[in-house]
Amino acid sequence: MASYPMSFEPLELSDARWREILSADAYRVLRREATERAGTSPLNDEKRAGVFICAGCALPLFSSEHKYESGTGWPSFYQPIHPEHVGTRKDFRLIWPRTEYHCARCGGHQGHVFDDGPEPTGKRWCNNGVALDFVPEGEALPELRTS
């Protein structure tokens, strides 16, 4: 597995700036914690080797090595590239609490993590595809967004 820089500075941008740099769908998911409709992301069918990065700030979040077909209609992974790249908190918006996760660098909402994934972790990191970009193996990762 490739190595990725572990240190990063938090990225805080104004709401107006996020609206300028993100698509309307990405803004709704990353900044307003919306959920894209299941089965709509081309990343759900992405099978090439590579890395999935935050669409907001380009922090590497998931490796294709940890992606699997969950049958949910959203890209799913059994672990992040590094635990420090995601932050979690409880989400009480439905009848039962869920664990929501965000990009640790820009705070962008990514999805939810569940305890029904495959071994070796038993976790399903269920991600909104619009919150991610894919970088194929062998291509350079973009610079982390700074503004």
- Tell me which residues are annotated as active site: 126
- Quick one: which of 3, 36, 14 has its CA closest to 106? 14
- What stretches of 9-117 show up as alpha helix (H) in DSSP? 15-21, 24-32
Cα–Cα nearest to 86, from 35, 46, 123: 123
**Distance separating alpha carbons of residues 13 and 116, to the nearest angstrom:** 35
C-alpha 50, offset from chain centre: 14
Q: Residue 52: enclosing H or E segment and its boundaries? A: strand 50-54
Q: How far is the CA of 125 from the CAs of 47, 72, 84, 114, 118, in angstroms?
A: 17, 11, 14, 7, 11
